[in-house]
Chains A and B, each alone.
Chain A
Amino acid sequence: MTSYKLQVKNCPPNSRSQASGMGQEARLRRAGFELIEMLIAISIITASVAAIISVAQKSIQVSRQSLHQAQASFLLEEGAESVRTLRDTSWALVLTLIPGITYYPTWVSSWTFLPTPNTVGIFTRTITVQNVNRDISDDITASGGSLDIGTKLITVTVSWQEGGTAMSKSISFYISDIFS
């Protein structure tokens, strides 16, 4: 576009009027103006299309994320239920889960909790157990109190990678020895 303007500028005014007359000059000026108009139009189109593309890409991201969130929610529910199946079999099995150690629920004919990492597709699911202390009124307390061996705090976490970003969902619940 700059070259075009230069060419018009380099063209001596006399030769322009001699060769083509004033009509041609006006036409060329008009053409130059149209080029600027066109550039503005193209800029607007480019900016609009770029905005639409970014919205389209964002919509893909969000829809993938929503699908993964739903899958992760079911895995969380499964994690919680798997600990309950352990409780339903024997409270002693729940007591074998050492507080502070990260366990990975693994399906071996029934739910077992291994310290060896395993994944479910893109998801990694972990379970941790915490001891529960109760105060003198039998209320759960964060500090002090005495250890309640009949209750554990379970935290299930599902984590995965979402387009290079680490995502995770987790739930915590108390489980009690209600069948012994």
Chain B
Amino acid sequence: MQLFNQKSKNASLGSSDPKSNCCRGATIFELLVYILIFSLTSIFVIDAVIVMTKSFAETRSNHDLLDGGLNALERMSREIRLAKSIDGSNSTLDVSPGVLFLNTTDDAGNTKTVEFYLNNGVLTLKENGAVSGVLVGQNISVTNLVFRQITTVQGSAIKVELTVQDTRGSAHRTEDFYDTIILRGDYQ
């Protein structure tokens, strides 16, 4: 604006020579063009930064949700598939938060128990009664975990319903994962 004032002053001083106004006015116009171009570029760049920030947040959120759901369900399906039987008395079936207590065997063939349960939204795995680890990342919370038992003539199966929530940011997006696994060790 200082430049603008100076030029205006010059313009008024030089008004006695009307021919020179065309050249001095060009500087004001030039400034306006500069401001316009600068504003448009700034809007575009700021918009781009906002878009990129949002896309980074969503990509990270998608990654966390995918990672959480995939890890949890892969491990559960593997344990269920290898299990010999479901311990109905120690399991909480058909409601969330569910608990799944399985009787299974380890690599050496010794009997083992495996338990999946929620501890404050964190899906936790217990092996032989001792906490063995958590199955979802620290930015993921499990908001729904239901185990449903299917009893067939030959054995049984478990239907798992899992909802994971991204706890980072303000969106708190959720994603559902479903699977059904037959207990291969329970075939008669």
Interface residues, chain A, with chain B CB atoms under 8 Å away: 1, 3-4, 7-8, 10-12, 15-16, 18-20, 24, 28, 31, 35, 38-39, 42, 45-46, 49-50, 52-53, 56-57, 59-60, 63-64, 66-67, 70-71, 74-75, 77-78, 81-82, 84-85, 88-90, 107, 110-111, 120-121, 179
Contact = CB atoms under 8 A, between A and B. Distances in A.
Q: How large is the interface on B (under 10, 10 to 19, 20 to 34, 35 or more residues)?
A: 35 or more
15 contacts: A11-B23, A18-B20, A19-B17, A38-B34, A42-B37, A45-B45, A46-B41, A60-B59, A63-B58, A71-B178, A77-B181, A81-B182, A84-B182, A85-B182, A88-B187
B172 to A, nearest CB: 16
Q: Which 9 A-B pairs have the closest CB atoms?
A: A19-B20, A15-B19, A88-B152, A56-B55, A63-B62, A88-B154, A78-B180, A81-B180, A49-B48
Interface stretch (B64-72, B83-91, B107-115, B132-140): B64-72
Contacts of B69: 70-71
A82 B23 CA distance: 83
B62 A67 contact: yes
B73 interface: yes
A111 B181 CA distance: 12
